[in-house]
Amino acid sequence: MAAFKETTFPVDAPAAEKAVGWIDDRFPLTKLWNDQWGAYYAPKNLNFWYIFGILATLILVMQIVTGIFLTMHYKPDANLAFGSVEYIMREVPWGWLVRYMHSTGASAFFIVIYLHMTRALIYGSYRKPRELLWLFGFAIFLALMAEAFFGYLLPWGQMSYWGAQVIVNLFGAIPLIGPDLSLWIRGDYVVSDATLNRFFAFHVIAIPLVILGLVAAHLIALHEVGSNNPDGIEVKDTLGPDGHPLDAVPSHPYYTFHDLFGVSVFLLIFSAVVFFAPEMGGYFLEYNNFIPADSLKTPLHIAPTWYFTPFYSVLRAITADFMYVLMAVVAAYVVFVFLKSRLAFKTKAIIAVVGLLMIIGMLPAILDAKFWGVMLFGASVMILAAMPWLDHSPVKSIRYRPTWHKYVYALFALSFVTLGYLGTQAPSPVGGVVSQVCTLIYFSFFLLMPWWSTMGRFKPVPQRVTFHPH
Amino acid sequence: MSNEKLVDPGRRGLMVATCAAGGVVGLATAGALVSTFQPSERAKAAGAPVEVDISDVAPGTMKVVEWRGNPVWILRRTPEMMASLANNDSKVADPLSDKFYQIEVPAYAKNETRSRAEHKEVLVVVGICSHLGCSPSSRFAEGAQPSLPNDWNGGFLCPCHGSTFDLAARVFKNKPAPTNLDVPPYMYLSDTRIVIGKDEKGEA
């Protein structure tokens, strides 16, 4: 540690320069700015797909600010909650705008995050050395789902109530401890005032704190390893005489203004939705939620908000008949791993034992379909975390992968969207079969990735990024 | 400088003991915080039995009352409805309610009609689906309808995940719900009054 030394400035130096100097002697303000943004060198070939990170940050700030003002009028009490939301909508000056910004912001957050994740998927942004960056991002996604779920109970409408009832009961499917766990989460024998109060605490303080911490970790990790780019090559491998990557530019001013343009376009679309279609035909705000919670009557059609429906469809797809298909699939996968993988024999043996236990557990007499539905529902989210270790492709970006890989991604995207659509619809026999097929495609994409990602003719990856000055 | 090699075992021991003691306090505090999540004494006390007048429940109609925050259905079945039950015995997953139930099935409900012998036509069940806790809706009309099989002869449909139940609230096979709807303990105070949450064996 060097001794403290006050920086001296000429007498006629500007006051602002002196002030920053005074601060820098006591707190690394300029250093932080330069490390995190000002002199952070980002690849110059970043395209449209790279706007969603900054948009997610913007929405996070917007949700926190609007949330604070909503909290000033909202009452977390089972008898008053529904009325207080209507009070915000009808009687608080401009309350409707703050509330619609918050509710539209929730859906916008998920749209932006899903696109942000798609970007990572197609350009291989989760690959080494960005595994932790991906895991932090994945944790933010989980926290965001929790935040959205807790927040959805607060208006205390029919959808709020029965949505919470179904999700809390998911934990009841865990053998032995399940029912007590559900009871512990609710704090009552039914979803009630106690549940509403604790969900409020989670929504307004606990989860936001976690999200802020994770976002900080995500950004620090990003600025440590550097941004990936659409070519999936490391710009740090080609340094210029000034020690900075030749193919990168400082974020300020280049990406500051680039991103401001993207933010403007986003706000244009966002405002249009807030002012003209805040309910988005029942997708952003479900109509049944305009009816106060009634513990004696479930609405005739209940579905989670759109951003949960792909995973919810997986849950619904698991029926007693489908268990036999799953048993066959697990058996086939274990055989496949044994024949085709280069894993150590010990690892293979562990996989075989786990597979065998799963098959036994899937017998109707052991664990019912409800349990496996909940397990696969959880697995469909958690499997995303394994991406950095499932993808063995020699190149990162889709640009240099075999063309048919694009069809694999397209099929995966199609099955994800189909699951999402079916999750918003009432259960039907045809929809059930389609969602079962899509569930199999969804999991195959990930579980077979170690093989298919290495197959085919890869295109040569250039040394320098593809960039056309304009 | 190699200060780190000169460890004083006495002080190191004290440090470990201090950390251990601090850890115990931390765990105990966490335990107290986790415990606050359990149902409060007030919530536990709010489960008293409910008395219901069923004289206004005409054959073929249903009354919903609240017991422990949950809906309890009281359905007076017509003779045709009663006749449909025997046809369902082979189609339902647990015809005589022998599986494990959250609320132990009272002995008087372990039969095809799932009701007490003195009033076989009156069905009393907790209207909460055993899958994920939605409240099924009544679909008493017979015949083909959306989301229902073509040979439907009356019952209940859960709107959440499509489980179907017959008119004795028995779940049909190969549905997401693993078990029949729960039958609460109940008994007749007179021909027109029942009490839910209590029977000859005492309060639930």
CB B160 within 8 A of CB A158: no
Weakest-pLDDT range from A131-140, A212-221, B188-197: B188-197
Interface of A with B in 380-419 (CB under 8 A): none
- Residue A223 in marked binding region: yes
Interface of A with B in 293-352 (CB under 8 A): 295-302, 316, 318-321
- Beta pairing, strands B155-157 & B137-139: antiparallel
Flag whether pLDDT at A142 surpasses 60.
yes
A157: helix, strand or coil: strand
Residue A89 lies in a domain: yes
pLDDT per residue over A227-245, tens digit each?
Answer: 999 999 999 999 999 999 9
Helix (H, G, I), strand (E, B) or coil at A239: strand
User: Tokens for B93?
Assistant: 């997953």
For residues B150-175, give the mean pLDDT: 89
- Known binder of ligand: residue A102? yes
Quick check: B145 contacting A, CB < 8 Å?
Answer: no
A218 known member of a binding site: yes
Under DSSP, the state recorded for A4 is P
User: A202 to chain B nearest CA, in Å?
Assistant: 13
Verify whether the Cβ–Cβ distance B132 to A296 is below 8 Å: no
Task: List pLDDT tens digits, range A151-187.
Answer: 999 999 999 999 999 889 888 888 888 888 999 999 9
Contact B133 A165 (CB under 8 A): yes
From B128, which residue of chain A is nearest by alpha-carbon distance? A296
B69 closest CB neighbour out of A189, A297, A426? A189
Task: Tell me the chain B residues in contact with residue A187 when contact means C-beta distances shorter than 8 Å.
Answer: 37-40, 43
Domain encompassing residue A149 = 26-281
Q: Is the minimum CB–CB distance between A188 and chain B shorter than 8 Å?
A: yes
- Domain-located, residue A126: yes
Contact with chain A for residue B48, Cβ under 8 A: no
Per-residue pLDDT, B132: 86
User: What does the pLDDT average to over A272-283?
Assistant: 95
Look at B134 and A295 and tell me if their CB atoms are within 8 Å. Answer: no
Chain A nearest C-alpha distance from B13 (Å): 31
Cβ atoms of A102 and A117 within 8 Å: the answer is: no
Q: Determine the average pLDDT of the residues in A359-364.
A: 90
pLDDT of residue B175: 83
Q: What is the pLDDT of residue A387?
A: 97
Give the one of B102, B132, B174 whose C-beta lies nearest to A321's C-beta.
B174
**β-pair partners for B73:** B64, B125
Find, among A114, A102, A113, the residue nearest to A62 by Cα: A102
Return the HEC string of chain B: CCHHHCCCHHHHHHHHHHHHHHHHHHHHHHHHHHHCCCCCHHHHHCCCCEEEECCCCCCCCEEEEEECCEEEEEEECCHHHHHHHHHHCCCECCCCCCCCCCCCCCHHHCCCCCCCHHHCCEEEEECCCCCCCCCCEEECCCCCCCCCCCCCCCEEECCCCCCEECCCCCEECCCCCCCCCCCCCEEECCCCEEEECEECCEEC
The yes-or-no verdict on residue B204 having pLDDT over 80 is no
Residue B92 near residue B143, CB atoms below 8 Å = no
- Residue A296, φ and ψ in degrees, nearest 5: -100, -5
With beta carbons less than 8 A apart as the criterion, state whether B152 and B142 touch: yes
Q: Helix axis angle, A193-201 relative to A131-153, nearest 10°?
A: 140
Whether B146 shows a pLDDT value over 90: the answer reads: no
Instruction: Report the residue of chain A nearest B67, measured CA to CA.
Output: A296
Interface test with A, best of B145, B161, B174, B196 (most A CBs within 10 A): B161
Considering only CA atoms, give the Rg of chain B: 26
Say how many CB pairs under 8 Å bridge A and B.
Answer: 104
CA A24 to chain centroid: 36
Structure tokens at A451: 């093989």
In this complex, which of B43, B102, B135 lies closest to A188 when CB atoms are compared?
Answer: B43
**What value does the mean pLDDT of chain A take?**
94
pLDDT at B98 over 90: no
**pLDDT digit string (tens) for B5-41?**
788 899 999 999 999 999 999 999 999 999 999 998 8
Under an 8 A CB cutoff, do B69 and A179 touch?
A: no
Residues B58 and B53: their CA atoms lie apart, in Å, by 12
Structure confidence by residue, pLDDT tens digits, B40-65: 888 887 778 889 999 999 999 999 99
Q: What does the alpha-carbon distance between residue A112 and residue A65 come to, in Å, rounded to a whole number?
A: 19
Would you call A456 helix, strand, or coil by DSSP?
coil
Q: State the Cα angle at B148 between B123 and A314, rounded to 5°.
A: 105
pLDDT in tens, B121-144: 999 999 999 888 899 999 998 888
Q: Is B71 on the interface with A (CB under 8 A)?
A: yes
User: Inter-chain contact B133–A296, Cβ cutoff 8 Å?
Assistant: no
Give the model confidence (pLDDT) of A23-36 as tens digits. 999 999 999 999 99
Nearest by Cα to A292 from A50, A141, A78: A78
Q: Residue range A340-354: average pLDDT?
A: 91
pLDDT given for residue B4 in this prediction: 62
Closest chain B CA to residue A190: B69
Q: What's this model's pTM, rounded to 2 decimal places?
A: 0.91
Burial of B64-94, coded b for 16+ CB within 10 Å and e otherwise, reads: ebebbbbbbbbbbbbeebbebbeebeebbbe
Q: Does B136 touch chain A (CB under 8 A)?
A: yes
pLDDT band at A215 (very low <50, low <70, confident <90, very high): very high
**How confident is the model over B174-191, as a mean pLDDT?**
90
Residues ≥6 apart with Cβ < 8 Å to A180: none
Per-residue model confidence (pLDDT) at position B203: 76
CA-based nearest distance B202→chain A, Å = 20
- Which residues of chain A lie closer than 8 angstroms to B137, CB-CB? 298, 300
Give the orientation angle of helix A429-447 with respect to helix A309-317, to 10 degrees. 110
**Position A367 confidence tier, pLDDT thresholds 50, 70, 90:** confident
Q: Is residue A43 part of a domain?
A: yes
Is A58 part of a structural domain of the chain?
yes
Q: Which of residues 112-171 of A touch B (CB under 8 A)?
A: 162, 165-166, 168-170
- Taking the CA of residue B80 and the nearest CA in chain A, the distance in Å comes to 26
What is the average pLDDT across A420-446? 93
Q: pLDDT confidence of B3, banded at 50, 70, 90?
A: low
Domain count, chain A: 1
Considering only CB atoms, which chain A residues are within 8 Å of B161?
316, 427
Interchain CB contact of A189 with B (< 8 Å)? yes
CATH of the domain at A172: 1.20.810.10
Q: Is A36 part of a structural domain of the chain?
A: yes
**Among B69, B102, B161, whose Cβ lies nearest the Cβ of A295?**
B69
Collapsed DSSP state (helix, strand, coil) of residue A419:
helix
Mutate to test the interface with A, among B128, B139, B160, B181 (most CBs of A within 10 A): B160
Please indicate, yes or no, if residue A439 is contained in any of the structural domains.
no
